[in-house]
Every structure is written in C-alpha cells, then in structure tokens.
Structure 1
Amino acid sequence: AALRHGAEVGIDLDAVPDRRTRVNNGTPRPITVHQRLLDEHPDVVTRFLSVLLRAADWAAGHPAEVARILGAETGAGASGVAAAYVPGASLHLDLSPERLDLLAEQERFLRGHHFLQSPVDVAAWADHTPLQGVPHA
C-alpha cells in the first residue's frame, strides 16, 4: 500500500541494530496457550512447537517459496514482499534471555498504554518446559 501511494521510508526500523526499537503492541509475538492445556496436554503443546520449528527450518532453506507464500497471503506481490519483509529473517522461536527481555519491554509498553492493568513477570510467566521437549530446540 505504501508503494502504491508513493510513500517513502522515513525510518527503517529493521535496519536499526537494537531490536528494542521494533517492540510494540504486536512485536514480539509470543506463542501462548492456556495453562490448562499446558497442564493436561503438554505433549500437544510440544508437538505444536515442533511443527513451528520445522516450518522455520523449511523457511530458512526456501526464501523464494516463503516470498511467494507471503505475496499470495498479503496480496502485496513480489515487490511489496521484498519491501516489507527482511530477507533471511529467522522465524525460529526461542526463550533466550534476549527474547524474554524484548517480551518484558513489550509488557511495559502495553502496561504503559493501559492495555494491561497490572504488571506481568515475564520471566516467571514463560514456561521453558514445552520447548525443551522439542527434539532439536
């Protein structure tokens, strides 16, 4: 849409080395499940994460196919996809300290803009167990 209207990039946040500049209401995107599902069917959660990681592995090796899928899904076409998505960006998920820090930054952002009424202890909230059960995670 930006290309169609002749808009120019003012600030390319993907080019800024500090990933915190991209934290907002939708980034990073955590994968969440209800605690009851995690308690009663941890195997389902682990299997789901395994599928996501296999898809990320596939995407890393098939950038042209990923671009085609994104183009079809968004209707942006090849030039729109090339302009909007960073080539080679990893779709792999993890619970690294950096990722949890970014999520904590997002929590502060959401609370600061009154989307959350009370603080969330992200480190205590994140459960590493299902991801540890994935064979190659």
Structure 2
Amino acid sequence: MTTATLTRQIYYTRCPAPTATGVGAGLGVLQKALEASGFAPSALQDVTDPEIRRHHFEHGIANLIREGGNIPAIWPKSRGARTRLLGITWLDEIQAIVVRPNSGFQSIRDLASARFAVPVSAGDRLDVAGISAFRGIDQALGTIGRQLSDVNLVEVAHRPTPPGERGGEHFDDELEALENGRVDAVWLKSAVGAAAIISGRVRPVLRLDHVVNPLVRVNNGTPRTLTFHEDFIADHPQAVRAVLSAVTEAVHAIGEDRQKLWAILAGETGQSAADAEIAFGSFSTANLLPTLAENRLEALQHQADFLFRQGFIPNDVDVRQWALHQDDNA
C-alpha cells in the first residue's frame, strides 16, 4: 500500500518522553510544515480508533511519523515493517536502581542475590516496560561484572499504558512491591523516577545516567528513534525534508527558553515542570536534534543486538542499513 491510496490525513506519534517532534508539535511548527505539504496532521494520541492507535507500536501504515523509545521501533523492523530510520536523539535522563530508604543495601554490589522487580503487562505483544526494566537491571549489574543470573527477578503485574497514550509512564506497581517488601530493588527512570527519588520514597544505590560509558546508559529511552514508512518517503520526499527541518528549527528555538522547554517536556511526560527539569537537566540542543551520527548508530546497534540476543525480537536488525541519510533521499 502506498500513500497514493491514502487520504491526506497523516499522524505523528511520540512516546511520553522528550522528543524533537514533541517540541515541534508543542511549538506548532510540525503541524505547519505538514499542512504546507498538503497534509492534515493529527497526533496519534488524539485518535480513538484502536486499529489506528496500535500502529504506535507496529508502524504498519504509511501515513505515520513515529519518534520515541527504540524498542517499539526496532521490534516491527525486525518483523519486516517497511520503515526507515531518519534520525536518532540522545538525551540522558535519570536512570537508577533504587531501594527502600531504610534498606541496608548501600551499593549495587550489595544487591547480589537480591530480588529485582520486573514489570509484566498481561496480554502485551510488546512489553516495553518489562523489557526496559530487564535491560536496566542487566546494565546495572554489568557495571560490577555481574549478570542477571546472579540476582532474583520477581515478576510484578504492571498496568500498561494504552498504545500511543501521552503521559502514561509509571512505576507505581514496582514501587508498591518494593514498599511491601516483595522485592528489594527497582529500576526506574525519567521524570516520574525523579519524583520518586526527590520525595524520599526511594533511595538510589546506582545512577546509571552518571556512568561515564555511554553504552551503559543505553535502554529504550536512550537513544530514541525517528522513523518514517518507506512508502511515505518515496511518495513525499519534500514533506520528509520539511518535517526534519521543522523539528530542527523547533529544538534550536526551545533551547534558548528553558522554562518553556520544561513546560513542554512536562506535558509530554505527564509530570510537573520541576520534575522534568531535574530528570532531563543535562539537556543541550544537540541532544535533541535527530541525527545519524556514528556514535548514535553504534548505541542503537548495541540495543538491537541485546534485544535479539535475549529473544525479544525475532530477527536481528542492521541499524546502518536501516538508516536513511538525507543525502540518500535527495
């Protein structure tokens, strides 16, 4: 199916996280660029039809621009989805292994044989929350030469965020299990993670976002991916260039107005502006500009290889072949 068979309706979707398209939509420049290209843009999060909303995770329709966590982008690609990678962002956010405030665990080394929460979303074909926690725990243990077999992974029922819904990320179920003593440690991240730490509800024993090696910080949210469908790229290359130009303009503009940036990111993540500022305090304009820089491609390949090695995706993904540089689409 090509876009010739579609209406001029186009959807843009992003995860409840900082994205260039989220900033572009927040400033209105993304919508203006698409309207100038002859399209009627809508946020996928505003659509009520579940058959359309599910494409946040599947990207099975041509008239969709998707930016956000890399797992929901890599997964359909590994299953044959005809998408291309147009850009990657790298915005470090709070990632931490946390314990109860009164816990005797003082460092990640103390957590050998401890019980780590792994959220499980019943019925999800793609359990992003569970995979992300699994990855975060693995990354944390790797800093001390340990592996997942050295700890106990405890499944915790997790209320999933509906596909494409904005501001739905949470760790409520895992934190409840921690407080009730069912587990000893939880991996969490972003603005909601920052809020839990600031409140004193939990105490971090390792901040992954403070680890110097960037590959240790790789997870679903770092790096994030911007993908388009091949048919849309083929039929509307000028619109693709207009979108990339618009979001680049938006990120440059918002970088000079931090208060507005925190307000937009708070709206994207469903948290307060104060929590967003703390969670994403390392923001620089370059972090949120979608590029295909070699270090970002390497990090994304690191993630794709992990997902395949652990059996979370059916086929391996060659990130560099997936990437479409703008010069290739001239």
User: TM-score scaled to structure 2, two decimals?
Assistant: 0.37
Equivalent residue for 2:310? Answer: 113
Q: Is 1:6 aligned to 2:210, yes or no?
A: no
Q: Is 1:28 aligned to 2:198, yes or no?
A: no
**3-state SS of the aligned residue for 1:14?**
helix
Equivalent residue for 1:60? Answer: 255
**3-state SS of the aligned residue for 1:30?**
strand
Q: Distance in 2 between matches of 1:132 and 1:52?
A: 18
Q: Distance in 1 between matches of 2:290 and 2:300?
A: 13
CA contact (8 A) 1:103 1:122 kept: yes
Q: Is 1:70 aligned to 2:261, yes or no?
A: no
CA contact (8 A) 1:110 1:116 kept: yes
CA change 1:11–1:61 in 2 (3 A) is same
Runs of 4 or more above 3 Å deviation: 72-75, 130-133
**3-state SS of the aligned residue for 1:9?**
strand
Equivalent residue for 2:290? Answer: 93
Q: Distance in 2 between matches of 1:131 and 1:86?
A: 35
For structure 1, list consecutive stretches of 5 or more residues without a partner in the other structure: none
CA contact (8 A) 1:70 1:81 kept: yes
Which structure is higher in strand share? 2
Instruction: Give 1:108 shift.
Output: 0.8
For structure 2, list consecutive stretches of 5 or more residues without a partner in the other structure: 1-194
May I ask how many residue pairs the two structures share in their alignment? 133
**3-state SS of the aligned residue for 1:86?**
coil
Max Rg structure: 2
Give CA deviations for 1:73-104 in whole Å, capped at 9, x if unaligned.
43432432233112433211111110110111
Which stretch has the larger CA shift, 123-132 or 38-47?
A: 123-132
Percent identical across equivalent pairs? 32
CA contact (8 A) 2:262 2:274 kept: no
Q: Which amino acid aligns with 1:94?
A: T
CA change 1:65–1:131 in 2 (3 A) is farther
User: TM-score scaled to structure 1, two decimals?
Assistant: 0.81
Give CA deviations for 1:7-41 in whole Å, capped at 9, x if unaligned.
12322222222221121234311111111111111
Equivalent residue for 1:83? Answer: 278
CA contact (8 A) 2:237 2:329 kept: no
Which stretch has the larger CA shift, 97-106 or 66-75?
A: 66-75
**3-state SS of the aligned residue for 1:118?**
coil
Aligned residue among 202, 210, 213 for 1:15: 210
